[in-house]
């Protein structure tokens, strides 16, 4: 009876089949499947209009989450501000360096 309990504990947690394969093997098999679908003519290919509609639909869904959108905007503002500060510091350092070189040449 103990063996049944031990077996049921591991059941469902052990990787089997496709999940047990390394990533390279999984990719190779998936690639063959995609090639076969294209050869058979059953592969789905997005046209630009269909891709545009899918992206628009996804954007609408994401934008409904106001908290998420606020976080994205805040992150973008912080990034822009830090980039501007870094550029200003770089410009100041360059001017300082040029001024010190110019001062040495006159002396």
Instruction: Tell me what the pLDDT averaged over the chain comes to.
Output: 83
Structural domain includes residue 66: yes
Is residue 74 situated within a structural domain?
yes
User: Which tokens belong to 92?
Assistant: 């100041």
Give domain status of residue 88, yes or no: yes
Residues 6+ apart with CB under 8 A from 37: 43
CA angle (40 as vertex; 35, 43 as ends), nearest 5: 65
81 pLDDT higher than 80: yes
pLDDT band at 96 (very low <50, low <70, confident <90, very high): confident
Is 95 contained in some domain?
yes
Q: Measured between alpha carbons, how far is 55 from 19 in angstroms, rounded to an integer?
A: 30
85 belongs to a structural domain: yes
| CA 95 to centroid of chain Cα atoms | 38
Q: Is residue 12 part of a domain?
A: no
pLDDT level of residue 9 (50, 70, 90 thresholds)? low
On whether residue 13 sits in a domain, the answer given is no
Q: Domains in the chain: how many in total?
A: 1
């Amino acid at each position: 009876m103990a063996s049944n309990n031990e077996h049921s504990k591991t059941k469902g947690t052990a990787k089997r089949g496709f999940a047990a394969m390394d990533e390279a093997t999984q990719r190779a098999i998936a690639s063959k499947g995609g090639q076969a679908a294209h050869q058979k003519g059953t592969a789905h290919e997005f046209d630009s209009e269909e891709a545009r509609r899918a992206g628009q639909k996804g954007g609408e869904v994401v934008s409904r989450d106001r908290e998420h959108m606020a976080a994205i905007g805040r992150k973008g503002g912080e990034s822009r501000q830090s980039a501007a500060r870094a550029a200003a510091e770089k410009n100041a350092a360059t001017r300082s360096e040029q001024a010190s070189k110019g001062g040495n040449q006159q002396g």
